[in-house]
Structure 1
Amino acid sequence: MKLFFTLFSLAGVFLTAYAEEQFRIAIDMNQPGWRALTEEDFTGVNSAEDTWVWRNGVLSCTGQPVSVLRTVKTYKNFEMVLEWRHNKPAGNSGMFVWATPESIAKLTESGKPGLPKGIEVQVLDNAFRHKMEKAGRNTEWFTTHGDVFPVGVRMTPIGKTSPNGSRSFPREDRSKDHGNWNHYYIRAVNGEVRLWVNGREVSGGTDCDPATGYLCLESEGSPIDFRNLHIRELP
């Protein structure tokens, strides 16, 4: 029996190491096709002139007004890595995958604060939950560790979901508190979006429609920094 448990434990260690190795290989930046996303790859939508500023490889966002920075071109199948850091407790932000050109056009024409339609990959500081609890608000409908959900489009959540079934909830808590850098790896292929947070796959969705569009970073009320944005387009 002791031998059985020893072998079982060793198997667990091996599988964990294998999973970590698979993740490392999945985002091997030496593979052909990876390139950095720079200031030339983005343009502001309904933002102020000082909402987004690039300094020494870091993209800083004031959080005001509520708006997005979108890619110049649209994307279909791709994988992407980025790092983000909230600069104040309870910060709110996110990234839109496959934001629809129609919703972007409406925001551009209106010039008013707002966000587009698409698949949102949530970027919330852990203190956001404490803020909501202190205010007596319901906190069961979201997490701060990488929710993935549709905004005005269609998606079937993978795995654990929010109470109403609209959001894919992360399998485990992975996000670091404000002031610390977090690493996201996003893979979006043929209508399926999957998210890895700080080295582990946590959430995602399938049957996304539409499954092509802009990529957007959110300005949503709180200062946040982004860095090391890279993308690789896939067949």
Structure 2
Amino acid sequence: MRIRKKLTFVGLFILFGLTSKAQETLFEFGKRKDFNTLISGGSEAEALKWIDVNTADTTWYQDKDILICRGLPIGVVRSEKMYQNFIMHVEWRHMEKGGNSGIFVWCDAKPEKHNRLPSGVEVQMLELDWVNQHKRNGETPPIAYVHGELFGAGKVTTEPDNPRGVRSKSIENRCLGVGKWNKYTVVCVDGTIKLAVNGKFVNGVREASKRKGYICLESEGAQIMFKNLQIIELDSGYILPEHIVEEL
């Protein structure tokens, strides 16, 4: 009996140690603000903490206010907290032609084995030359594919505003190419997402099967830089248990 108790204690100690390690902050980047506080004149902001899911501490590094992702290994880091309704502003630029990346919202932060990426709604960030490097049957994909495409990834589904199959393509090309900064404003409310690129709303999805989850930054094979990431958290809305990802 005593031996069993010892083993149980050791097992719990190991499990606690692994869980604690899994929750360690890899880096801080960006700010979280509360909408009601902003309206009342407050300016308090808290640093966003990011936890590694399946990349490495060498994947990410910071140069002053810029977060740089080397692109390998393929995977994500996740926000410490889950978010339901919010506005996200982020600036990004690819440093390689044809570079691939994105940000997941309402994400479960649980990578699939076949591609190392989780389920969520992806806000696509592909460099413009991607279409020239990935011709299909000799044909060049439409530029709209790389320009802020929105779609349910993995187990998450959405209804597209501008269908390209199950994905939603942008209605106007406003994205800038390699080495140039792009600005995304992403409004996420009760299963609906609207995306503005460089100052104009051009895409959207609705009826997302998940409506509260983690935000994940994606590493997908190419160097990308992020800056000025801000999350403005809005009031919560009506939500069913099945719309919420499992808390980690």
- Taking the aligned partners of 1:79 and 1:34, their CA distance within structure 2 comes to 16
More helix by proportion, 1 or 2? 1
Matches within 5 A, 1:144-159: 144-151=146-153, 152-158=155-161
* Runs of 4+ residues deviating >4 angstroms: 30-38
> Could you list the runs of 5+ residues in structure 1 that have no partner in the other structure?
1-26
- Taking the aligned partners of 1:169 and 1:36, their CA distance within structure 2 comes to 33
* Contact 1:35-1:232 at 8 Å conserved across structures: no
Q: Deviations over 1:111-170 (max 9, x none)?
A: x96110000000000000111139836625961110000012121111x211x2x11110
- Taking the aligned partners of 1:146 and 1:60, their CA distance within structure 2 comes to 20
- Taking the aligned partners of 2:143 and 2:180, their CA distance within structure 1 comes to 25
Given the alignment, which residue of 96, 99, 106 partners 1:91? Answer: 99
TM-score by length of 1: 0.77
- Taking the aligned partners of 1:167 and 1:121, their CA distance within structure 2 comes to 11
- Taking the aligned partners of 2:88 and 2:131, their CA distance within structure 1 comes to 27
Which amino acid in structure 2 is aligned with residue 124 of structure 1? Answer: L
* Contact 1:36-1:231 at 8 Å conserved across structures: no
Q: CA RMSD in A?
A: 2.5
Give the structure, 1 or 2, with the largest relative contact order (CA under 8 Å, sep 6 or more): 1
Q: Which secondary structure state, in structure 2, belongs to the residue aligned with residue 184 of structure 1?
A: strand
* Contact 1:51-1:62 at 8 Å conserved across structures: yes
- Taking the aligned partners of 1:191 and 1:73, their CA distance within structure 2 comes to 18
Mark the CA change 1:80 to 1:37 in structure 2 (over 3 Å): closer, same or farther.
farther
Which amino acid in structure 2 is aligned with residue 154 of structure 1? Answer: T
Tell me what 1:5 maps to. none
- Taking the aligned partners of 1:58 and 1:203, their CA distance within structure 2 comes to 26
- Taking the aligned partners of 1:197 and 1:187, their CA distance within structure 2 comes to 12
Q: Deviations over 1:23-55 (max 9, x none)?
A: xxxx9xx656777674x5211111112101122
* 173-182 vs 132-141, which moves further: 132-141
Q: Deviations over 1:53-112 (max 9, x none)?
A: 122011000000111111000000000100001001000000101002xxx2466xx8x9
* Contact 2:144-2:170 at 8 Å conserved across structures: no
> Could you list the runs of 5+ residues in structure 2 that have no partner in the other structure?
1-34, 236-248
Mark the CA change 1:44 to 1:216 in structure 2 (over 3 Å): closer, same or farther.
same
- Taking the aligned partners of 2:83 and 2:144, their CA distance within structure 1 comes to 27
Tell me the matched-pair count.
Answer: 197
- The answer to whether residue 197 in structure 2 is matched with residue 189 in structure 1 is no
- Taking the aligned partners of 1:84 and 1:51, their CA distance within structure 2 comes to 16
Which amino acid in structure 1 is aligned with residue 156 of structure 2? Answer: V
Which amino acid in structure 2 is aligned with residue 182 of structure 1? Answer: N
Mark the CA change 1:65 to 1:34 in structure 2 (over 3 Å): closer, same or farther.
farther
Which amino acid in structure 1 is aligned with residue 119 of structure 2? Answer: K
TM-score by length of 2: 0.73
* Contact 1:35-1:230 at 8 Å conserved across structures: no
- The answer to whether residue 53 in structure 2 is matched with residue 53 in structure 1 is no
- Taking the aligned partners of 2:42 and 2:92, their CA distance within structure 1 comes to 23
Given the alignment, which residue of 42, 48, 66 partners 2:74? Answer: 66
